[in-house]
A and B are shown apart, each in its own frame.
Chain A
Amino acid sequence: MAEKATGYDAAEAASGGLPQLDISTWGGQIFWLVVTFAILYFALSRFILPRLGSGLTERSDRIADDLDAASRMQQDAEAAEAQYQSSLADARAKAHKINATTKSSVDAEIASEVEAAEAEFTRQSSAAEARIAKIRSEALRNIDDIAADTASEIVSKLSGMKVTAARAKTAVSKA
């Protein structure tokens, strides 16, 4: 391709040739190229590229942070759920326990009341039995007296003998 360019030069040299090959303009072109390229390099490397680059890294950092935060929140949610489940299980266990203890205490109360009632009943019935026995023995003793009286009366009526109360009594108890 370089040959083609020089070929043009030879062919067109008479009619002015390629303006590109006019060496007198090269210095000025290169001077302005250096000036403009230096300004462009300064502006881009100092101001524009660092800002673009930091914007990009900021965004990727932010995305990474957000992903981290999201996974952390998920872990938190899972932990909260586990806690909720365990407290639910606790509450359930407690309810069971309360149920059981209430039942047993009610049972015990019923049992103790039944026992008390039975004790009261036996006490009352034994007291009644004692009273009946007492009344009965009293009645028996009265029978002896009545029998002695009756006997002494019968004896005095039949024989006209006076029988003392004591003798009559011993006689009756002997009979």
Chain B
Amino acid sequence: MANDPMNQFKIETIVPLPPVAGVDISFTNSALYMVIGIALVIGFFMLTMKRQLVPGRMQSLGEMSYEFIADMVRDTTGPEAMKFFPFVFCLFFFILFANLVGMFPYAFTTTSHVAVTAAMAIFTILIVIVAGLWKNGFKWFKIFAPSGLPLPMYALIIPIEIISFLSRPITLAVRLFANMTAGHVMLKLFAIFAAFLVAKGGAVAGLAILPVLGTVALVALEFLVAGLQAFVFAILTCVYLNDVYHVDH
């Protein structure tokens, strides 16, 4: 088991549940870590809700998180998009905590599964489409046809715009999934290599220090990636939400 770097991504059933509409909804390690993730997010923000006039450390953290995402939504999309602020906030903290919890040894990283990241990405794009149509009606489709171009250009531009729009959920999903998967595979490979060198024994065992140092560096990098990918997902959501409010671009 320990020698397969893909084993860490294996879904294992913890509590089997009867399938609903043909879908196996058994409580798995993935579900467990999602529950742990949201419990940590909610617990963290419960600690920050003291509401003192002069904030303490935890309250400052909570308020900084709030301002960070609020500024992101305001600056990237505009003040009218503050309706979506709770959604972006949830996305950011769900992904951030899933990534960080996944950094613990033996923990499961829910965001390393393409099903999860694709579901979030498609849901985000559906929100953009539904909110855009709701707000602008059929005029919303003008986002695929930028104004002020010579007529023949539209034959080229409209398909490109449609493809770029449809590629958004794919890039959004794959970016997060691939980053998390690749990082964890790399960590596992370095660790396996170190174990392999130690198992060889003798002078070669001393060389194990190199992959161990590599693992340490990778852990630091992965913590960076954990935050960065959550940020990228959230800010791209804001950028895509822009299309709800600014049809003429």
Find residues 31-56 in chain A having any chain B CB closer than 8 Å to their own CB. Answer: 31-34, 36-37, 39-41, 43-45, 48-49, 51-53, 55-56
Task: Report Cα–Cα, A51/B65, bound state, in Å.
Answer: 13
In this assembly, does B25 line the interface, its C-beta being within 8 Å of a C-beta of chain A? yes
Q: Given A20-B115, A21-B114, decide whether A33 and B34 contact each other with a Cβ distance below 8 A.
A: yes
- Interface segment out of the listed B6-14, B197-205, B206-214, B240-248: B6-14
A and B contact pairs by CB, cutoff 8 A, 17 listed = A19-B6, A19-B11, A20-B115, A32-B28, A32-B30, A32-B34, A36-B38, A36-B94, A37-B120, A40-B42, A44-B89, A44-B90, A44-B93, A45-B90, A51-B51, A55-B63, A56-B66
CB within 8 A of A28: which of B23, B49, B87, B120? B23
CB within 8 A of B30: which of A1, A29, A48? A29
Q: Which residues of A contact B67 (CB under 8 A)?
A: 56
Residues of A within 8 A of B (CB): 1-2, 4-5, 12, 16, 18-22, 24-34, 36-37, 39-41, 43-45, 48-49, 51-53, 55-56, 58-59, 62
Q: Which residues of B contact A19 (CB under 8 A)?
A: 6, 9-11, 113
CB within 8 A of A30: which of B41, B66, B94, B119? B119
Q: Given A12-B6, A32-B30, A36-B38, decide whether A51 and B174 contact each other with a Cβ distance below 8 A.
A: no
Task: Report Cα–Cα, A174/B89, bound state, in Å.
Answer: 151
Q: Which residues of A contact B120 (CB under 8 A)?
A: 33, 37
Say how far A72's CB is from chain B's closest CB, in angstroms: 20
Say how far B43's CB is from chain A's closest CB, in angstroms: 10
A30–B63 contact, CB under 8 A?
no
Q: Which residues of A contact B31 (CB under 8 A)?
A: 28-29, 32, 36
A40–B41 contact, CB under 8 A?
yes
Task: Report Cα–Cα, A58/B20, bound state, in Å.
Answer: 47
Q: Given A30-B116, A51-B49, decide whether A45 and B86 contact each other with a Cβ distance below 8 A.
A: yes
Find residues 29-74 in chain B having any chain A CB closer than 8 Å to their own CB. Answer: 30-31, 34-35, 37-38, 41-42, 45-46, 48-49, 51, 53, 59, 62-63, 66-67, 70
Q: Given A2-B170, A49-B66, decide whether A29 and B115 contact each other with a Cβ distance below 8 A.
A: yes
Task: Report Cα–Cα, A18/B85, bound state, in Å.
Answer: 35
Say how far B128's CB is from chain A's closest CB, in angstroms: 17
In this assembly, does B143 line the interface, its C-beta being within 8 Å of a C-beta of chain A? no
A53–B66 contact, CB under 8 A?
yes
A48–B174 contact, CB under 8 A?
no
> Nearest residue in B to A43 (C-beta to C-beta)?
B42
CB within 8 A of B113: which of A29, A40, A44? A29
